[in-house]
Amino acid sequence: MRIEELPKLPKLFRVIEVDLDVLRNGIGSGWGVIFDQDAVVKRKVRRVKHDGGWKWQLVREWHDQELWDYCFEQDRECLENLNYDLCLMQ
């Protein structure tokens, strides 16, 4: 389920799995690289407090995941953009 479609918000710091709209790179028909393909992936997120209220934050599932999961930082940026789109951050 997408974040926008949640019927009820989870409590702060509770981890839930959602479908996250992200951008990926792929291989085209002529073996060329296609940048910024829209994709939907399952990621774990949680609500956290910040100075302006609360926001969604990506959850690491394994130790040092950001070192070997090359899509983790891109997914974090997509989630930050979603926070701005939902007016959770200024």
pLDDT in tens, 27-67: 888 888 888 888 899 999 999 998 888 999 999 999 999 89
Complete edge-to-edge strand list for the sheet that includes strand 15-27: 15-27, 33-50, 53-58
**How many domains does the chain fold into?**
1
- Give domain status of residue 90, yes or no: no
77 to 20, 30, 31, 34, 72: CA distances (angstroms): 11, 29, 27, 19, 9
- Give domain status of residue 41, yes or no: yes
87 to 46, 52, 54, 55, 83: CA distances (angstroms): 17, 11, 10, 9, 6
Measured distance CA(90)–CA(85) in Å, rounded: 10
Kindly indicate the confidence band of residue 26, based on its pLDDT and cuts at 50, 70 and 90.
Answer: confident
- The pLDDT, as a whole number, for residue 48 is 95
Is residue 12 over pLDDT 90? yes
Residue 69 belongs to domain spanning: 3-85
Is residue 90 over pLDDT 80? no
pTM equals 0.83
